[in-house]
Structure 1
């Protein structure tokens, strides 16, 4: 963390500027990493005008919050530990949740959203990564707004397009034996790859099959939804049936009128979670997303229909097929 005068000339009375220099770390997300930079890059502190003066109560609280977020600290403006910091203090951190469904009798923690305190949510679920079902976390008004057919028909009238993923027989993002996707004569053990890449493949015998992509008007997609509803199954035609799925449909970008109605439960703000994305997933039914790992803490709310979730202990990576795995891409003729 570094502090300088506002414009660097040292004039008295100016609000200081702050910058955070993060640690230089190797990028583990890439198979071939770029050389590490010689110098750390700084991220400047840029608060709203009302919080720009760190000598004010509001300004200092905002600065402390930024330092906490940037450095992984848990301090109050008075210098003590926040409620999260007390949970995460050395020797007090909760272990990761590792109990199996059999040990729990197959029962998920089921709590009314209004009865869950921020402290209990943070200590018993967020820190140990233990899933929980929060009932009543979304208002009836929000559910009615999203389910309103006229909202989607409005997008259709505006000529909007959606990026649709297309899979076979309802399956998306599954892993398959890589030999199904190799050219004739290829061995499939990674020996055809550069050694520095092959050495980082966790499962050289597997490939993640990505769905095909197609741009489609909302009108056309609604037609597919209606036809799927009429047959009550996307896979009724057998294994060759195609399944359509819209993911990461941004609420702020496409449905800004919902932002004041559809929002995360207040408990998420109370424990310091920051909203990274607001997305809708929109399928025509009977779709299966294979086991995967998400980089975010997810708050998932089924709006129409039902969704079955199978969760695996996050430390059991051998069942998640995570890490660097070759990809195969479906195409649509």
Structure 2
């Protein structure tokens, strides 16, 4: 014990609890590590994009080298080797913590250990959390578990929470489990696929070129793929265990039976109540949204420094033209399009926040009774169009209940378990411009040099020569009619074909977003779903 006391004397800079932790480690763990990994600030920034980093202050390294080769740092990393040896997503090392002061609040005068959680969304900056706990080893391990989203006991085994998490991830729903499951290669094995941009329409002098089948192309090819399960209103227990906790899409056929919106939200009612309200409207030539096109057909210049960072520098994601107008003018435009009086334009009121624009209507839409107080709600949006729109393949990082009030939506889904097959990546954005006087669209605008996480694949006319892995993807179809709800789990890829009500000549839906039960790092094609730690209480 005299030797241990001598080695701990170098820890005058430590908090009393940390000294106790030092003594405990020295007394109970043999040296496990042959060297101490030193992490530069650049290392921390780089590694945190893929793993959680636990950094020990380099001041401790300097202190402990005075008292012998077998230092407290070595012992602490030895502890890590025991508790986290089977944990691939945690890296322990030594770093200059002064460099990171202010990232997540001020550190104490001499921080001993700091955790840098893995960056799940690369649009979110690096953060850090200082360890200020007791000297108990169990407390330190609990601290690492909490902030690294790990579930390890002192002996390296999984905790009960870790075992439950493991079971959830092993039981995720996969489309291949369905009896009619087919791959994209099988769907298109007899199809003469078109990849030429020359086969297109140009109307009214516009330079925007679209296939003559732009909105409805290839739909028949998806008629023989597996369908979503359709169920009546489930119990809370059934929905959680069979759908939410398995990341499984499902259609609920009677969840909207008591919604006032089903009878109240007529076009006439909305015009009378909100006709003078100004709303944001999206415009495209043929009703196709978030389309991927060759950069070469756009009259824009994207800096080479930006293109070099992109996996597909020859492509752009086309965002619709935006127009601010009175709600009544939007309804008039929608009617004119439906009646054929206006062509070469499609108007879509998409992502319209209910809380911001139509707060009074919130009482007309009810939260799913089997889902109340389950996940944290985010926003509710209204989706309103003439009904002939196509939202190309994309995913959302939220759990989503899509509720159909008028018309139908055919949704083609792909699971998020093998995003290499969908070629998930950042692609540069470009924005259509629209001249309201001449009613022409032009490809001549870029946003603030931003890019969007999306798939470059056209699922209805896939270029399987360039995107070979997409041939292994397995589609699933979920068509919802008036009064039905589709649950789309977070990160499921989906393409949405809307069709109008034959009597109302419109398509109207509302959706509710929730912070996801499963999350994943984005963009990261090879990364898999993980259980969101904020919902541990639900496991």
Q: TM-score, normalised by structure 1?
A: 0.66
1:169 Cα deviation from its structure 2 partner: 0.8
C-alpha RMSD of matched pairs (Å):
3.5
Question: Which residue, 99, 103, 107 being the options, matches 2:181?
Answer: 103
Relative to 1, partners in 2 of residues 1:175 and 1:118: Cα closer, same or farther, differing over 3 Å?
same
Residue 223 (structure 1) shift: 0.6
User: SS of the residue aligned with 1:298?
Assistant: strand
Shift of 1:208: 0.6
Instruction: Report the CA distance shift for 1:244/1:323 in structure 2 as closer, same or farther (over 3 A).
Output: same
Alignment of 1:285 with 2:387, yes or no, is yes
CA distance in 2, matches of 1:92, 1:161: 46
Alpha-carbon distance, 1:284 to partner: 1.7
* Cα displacement string for residues 193-224 of structure 1 (whole angstroms, at most 9, x for unaligned residues): 25xx734x232332111111111111211111
Displacement of 1:25 in angstroms is 4.2
Alignment equivalent of 1:137, drawn from 255, 259, 282: 255
Other structure's SS at 1:310 match:
strand
Instruction: Indicate conservation of the 8 Å contact 1:293/1:322, yes or no.
Output: no
Task: For residue 426 of structure 2, give the secondary structure of its aligned residue in structure 1.
Answer: coil
1:203 corresponds to which residue? 312
Conservation of the 8 A alpha-carbon contact between 1:108 and 1:132:
yes
Q: Does 1:121 align with 2:199?
A: no
Distance 2:163 2:285 in 1: 46
2:368 aligns to what? 265
- Deviation at 1:260? 2.0
Q: Which residue of 1 aligns with 2:208?
A: none
Shift of 1:289: 0.5
**Pairing of 1:182-201 with structure 2 (within 5 A):** 192-193=304-305, 198-199=308-309, 201=310
Q: CA deviation at 1:148?
A: 5.7
**Counterpart of 1:220 in 2: which secondary structure?**
helix
- CA distance in 1: counterparts of 2:412 and 2:418, whole angstroms: 14
Q: Distance in 2 between matches of 1:103 and 1:27?
A: 31
State the secondary structure of the residue aligned to 1:266.
coil
Residue 135 of structure 1 deviates from its aligned partner by 1.0
- Which structure has the greater CA radius of gyration? 2
| Counterpart mapping for 1:306-317 below 5 A | 306-317=408-419
Q: Work out whether residues 87 and 93 of structure 1, in 8 Å CA contact, stay in contact via their aligned partners in 2.
A: no
Cα shift at 1:257: 2.4
Q: In the alignment, what sits opposite 2:431? A: 329
The structure whose residues are more often strand, as a share, is 2
Deviation at 1:229, TM superposition (A): 3.1
Distance 2:318 2:298 in 1: 9
Q: How far is 1:88 from its partner?
A: 3.9
Q: How does 1:6-155 map to 2 (within 5 A)?
A: 24-26=117-119, 28-30=121-123, 36=126, 39-40=128-129, 88-100=164-176, 102-103=180-181, 106-113=226-233, 116-138=234-256, 139-147=258-266, 149-155=268-274
5+ residue gaps, structure 2, are 1-104, 106-113, 131-146, 151-160, 183-224, 436-539
How much has 1:262 moved relative to structure 2?
0.4
Distance 2:366 2:358 in 1: 13
Provide Cα deviations, 1:107-149, integer angstroms capped at 9, x if missing partner.
Answer: 3111001xx1222212221122211000111125231123362
User: 1:296 deviation in Å?
Assistant: 0.8
CA distance in 2, matches of 1:167, 1:217: 18
Cα distance in 2 for residues equivalent to 1:264 and 1:168: 35
Matching residue of 2:277: 160
Residues 92 and 130 of structure 1: CA distance in aligned 2, closer, same or farther (over 3 Å): closer
Structure 1 residue 99: deviation in Å?
A: 1.3
The answer (yes or no) to whether the contact 2:259–2:364 under 8 Å persists in 1 is no
Q: 1:127 to 1:87 in 2, by over 3 A?
A: farther
Please name the residue that 1:54 is paired with.
none
State the alpha-carbon separation in 1 of the partners of residues 269 and 148 from structure 2: 45
Say which SS state the counterpart of residue 143 (structure 1) adopts.
helix
